[in-house]
Structure 1
Amino acid sequence: MLKISVIIPVYNASAFLKKAVESALQFEEVKEILLIEDCSRDDSLKVCQELTLEYSRVQLFQHPDKGNHGAGATRNLGLKKASQEFIAFLDADDYYLPNRFDAEKELFKNEKTEGVFGAIGTEFLTEKGKEKFKEKFNTNTLSTVNYVAEGQKIFEGFFGNGKFLGAFFSLIALTIRKSALERESLQFNEKLRVHQDSDFITKLMYHCHLQTGIIDQPISMRGVHDDNRITSVINYSEDYYNKQMLLAESRYNWAKEQKAMPKEILLNFRLSYLTYKIGLTPTPIKYFNFVWHALQNPKLFKTRYRFLALKKHG
């Protein structure tokens, strides 16, 4: 039987937290639920304390200074505290469905498999949240990938020039061997207040042998409401470009350090970073540098990056 630690970062989520926790408690495989409270301004800490009293598998932790450190640092603290062989993630405003670990029970019998991920659904908890979500992500409520894949085919499918695997997958649909994270010293970039999950998943796809699980139906549900971090960033605003640039910069700096990184994917990350960097602070030398790299591989440039940030400068 799988033995799983579920890590839940908690920040201003008192209205949703109990449902999230109880959705994880339904599984015998979940041996501990780690609530990492990040200095909430609502009653989340009180709800956490009540849940630890009600359920023996629920544990509560805070940062040593009891301050607010962001989702990256909060999840990293959860990784340090996790004691089980497998780790799963859940946000405090999301929840698991009954099929959450069905694929994992079979796929993890293969010791080569280090991580499994599936599809997530979307539940709109408020009308304003629904409007903001659809404006940002269109009307698709099932987030999944296009085909079954494993190993390096997953990384190449997201960032290479071949068959496109899909848009993304979510942490709340991922189960990973703790030993794989420890082997590669993988953790969240604490400098990223937004997109630290996308940054972490990128590194995970490269370093670990992942495999698709259930991709034709959701195994977890994402709750969308007025205060979601990701929907609060308005497309094509200065804030949007800044946050996209920080993610692109983190990916590119990491990719440069990987000796076996395919050249076309390294260029992909570089173009992404320069797109946002130039768009935010255009200068002749940066523009020349960007165009020079684009000309080295025009097909990649046209299909992946279309001067997204430069558009706002006319």
Structure 2
Amino acid sequence: MSVTTPRVCVIIAARNAARTIPVAIASALREAEVAEVVVVDDASSDDTQHVARAADDGSGRLKVMRLDVNRGPSSARNAAIKASTSPFISILDADDFFLEGRFHRLFASADWDFAADNIMLIRDDAAADPTKVAAPFFAPEPQFLDFERFIEGNISRRRVLRGELGFLKPVISRAFLERHGLSYDENLRLGEDYELYARAVACGARFKIIKSCGYGAIVRADSLSGRHRTQDLKRLADADLALLALGNLPEGSRAALRRHERHVRDKYRLRNFLDVKAERGLASAAAYAFASQSNLIPIVRGVAADKLDALFRRAGIAAKQQVPPMRFLMSATSAAKE
């Protein structure tokens, strides 16, 4: 590796990922800019640790750690960051992979603290061999995210395929994290990326995005990121309140945060209502709903929307939302081959 090649540490938090992690590790080790790959096995019950070790390419860049107690992705990532030394950090989920040449494109300029590219979202049954997947060539169209746009870009829309900006997997400057004392919030098991990115941008991070695609994400029905507890939603809404307590945010940013907090809190209230109904019956759920207007309105809206969706599907007016075999997180413009 030449002295001018950026040194990147790829960190992979893994739990029960024995089936997918060899592809993730191989895609990271293939890149010349990758100086370290740190895998943290978060107390898997399968053979993740040994399968990860077996993916070593002999270059001495792979390190595999194991946590004896499941602590969640935030803890695992913080442990990986502490165990690494490279000046740049890149997050890779254990069931995803990098496309070849990803870091070359991201490091084409050095005017950023966080740099992310487009994500190719591939349905599990459409990715027989992820190593053979190639993305279209998109114009980079570089731009920087400000705080308000980033927060607004994390409010999901009903009946719209999810594409929140918190899904981005940026390369991160270690110096920026250390300068501002930033790390993953270990109380969060949902939205931990969103919270870190938001806090970084609030601290002045230059968060650059390009539309070129360098990250492949496999969309699985059994993905850990697709399963979360009701309390995880409450913790994420509370994280927004903590961000609101920052004293340096302009009113536009604060208004965006309040919208995101309300959006997540309303999801929590609906989920909690359904939990109470399942555990203690309709009377207890109704008591929870009528305890306050803040509870009642999102619960009524959510239940009504769910019922209408089911009715429309039965009547053939609306079809169940279909996930395409391949789509992209950010819309982009096709470009000539690089």
TM-score by shorter chain over 0.5: yes
Say which of 244, 247, 268 aligns to 2:233: 244
Task: Report the CA distance shift for 1:106/1:194 in structure 2 as closer, same or farther (over 3 A).
Answer: same
**Relative to 1, partners in 2 of residues 1:207 and 1:40: Cα closer, same or farther, differing over 3 Å?**
same
For 1:11, the equivalent position in structure 2 comes to: 15
Contact 2:233 2:268 in 1 (8 A): no
Alpha carbons of structure 1 residues 55 and 68: separation in structure 2 relative to 1, 3 Å? farther
1:229 matched to 2:224? The reply is: yes
Q: 1:92 to 1:11 in 2, by over 3 A?
A: same
Ranges in structure 1 where 5+ consecutive residues have no aligned partner: 130-140, 234-238, 292-306
Cα deviation digits, residues 139-195 of structure 1 (max 9, x gap): xx99x9x97432xx432213369xxxx7314343x1010011111221112222222
Is 1:158 the counterpart of 2:176 in the alignment? no
Alpha-carbon shift at residue 277 of structure 1 (Å): 5.4
> TM-score with structure 1 length normalisation?
0.73
Query: CA 1:209/1:224 → structure 2, altered by over 3 Å: closer, same or farther?
Result: same
CA 1:309–1:261: 2 relative to 1, 3 Å: farther
| 8 Å Cα contact 1:115-1:208 kept in structure 2 | no
Give the Å deviation of 1:285.
Answer: 7.2
CA distance in 1, matches of 2:207, 2:235: 28
TM-aligned CA distance change 1:88 to 1:309, over 3 Å: farther
Report the count of equivalent residues: 267
Q: In the alignment, which of 275, 290, 293 is matched to residue 287 of structure 1?
A: 293
Partner of 1:196: 192
| Residue 255 to residue 82, structure 1, CA distance change in 2 (3 Å) | farther
Check whether the contact 1:278–1:310 (CA below 8 A) recurs between aligned residues.
no
Classify the secondary structure of the residue corresponding to 2:165: coil
Alignment TM-score, normalising by the size of structure 2: 0.68
Give, in angstroms, the shift of residue 121 of structure 1: 0.5
Does the alignment pair 1:37 with 2:44? Answer: no
Which amino acid in 2 is paired with 1:6? V
Deviation at 1:42, TM superposition (A): 1.0
**1:209 and 2:205 are equivalent in the alignment:** yes
1:146-185 alignment, distance < 5 Å: 148-150=142-144, 153-159=145-151, 167-172=164-169, 174-185=170-181
1:249-268 pair list within 5 angstroms: 249-262=238-251, 263-268=254-259
What are the superposed Cα offsets for residues 239-273 of structure 1, whole Å, 9 maximum, x if unpaired?
Answer: 5x543332122122232234335342343345335
| Mapped pair 1:220 → 2:190 | no
Change in 2 beyond 3 A, CA 1:229/1:28: same
**Secondary structure, in 3 states, of the residue corresponding to 2:190?**
coil
Task: Please report how far the alpha carbon of residue 12 of structure 1 lies from its aligned counterpart in structure 2 after TM superposition.
Answer: 0.8
Q: Percent identity?
A: 20
CA offset at residue 89 of structure 1?
0.8
User: Which residue identity lines up with residue 180 of structure 2 in the other structure?
Assistant: E
Q: Displacement of 1:52 after TM fit?
A: 4.3
Cα distance, 1:242–1:310 mapped onto 2, change above 3 Å: farther
Paired with 2:223 and 2:208, the residues of 1 have a C-alpha distance of 26
CA contact (8 A) 1:90 1:171 kept: no
Tell me by how many angstroms 1:209 deviates.
Answer: 2.4
Match of 2:262 in 1: 271
Q: What are the Cα deviations for residues 210-235 of structure 1, in whole angstroms up to 9, with x where unaligned?
A: 343431x42110122342013345xx
Amino acid at match of 2:15: Y
The RMSD of aligned alpha carbons is: 3.3
Alignment CA distance shift 1:21-1:30 (3 Å): same
Cα pair distance change 1:97/1:35, threshold 3 Å: same
1:285–1:207 distance in 2 versus 1, CA, 3 Å: farther
Give the Å deviation of 1:199. 2.1
Pair 1:285–1:266, CA change in 2 (3 A): farther
Aligned counterparts of 1:211 and 1:67: Cα–Cα separation in 2: 34
1:14 & 1:266 partners in 2: Cα distance?
Answer: 38
Q: Which of 55, 60, 82 is matched with 1:51 structurally?
A: 55
Quote the Cα distance in structure 1 between the aligned partners of 2:207 and 2:248.
23
Question: Is the partner of 1:249 in helix, strand or coil?
Answer: helix
Shift in CA distance, 45/274, structure 1 to aligned 2, threshold 3 Å: closer
| Paired letter, 2:123 | F
- Would the alpha carbon gap of residues 179 and 60 (structure 1) be closer, same or farther in structure 2, given more than 3 Å must change? same
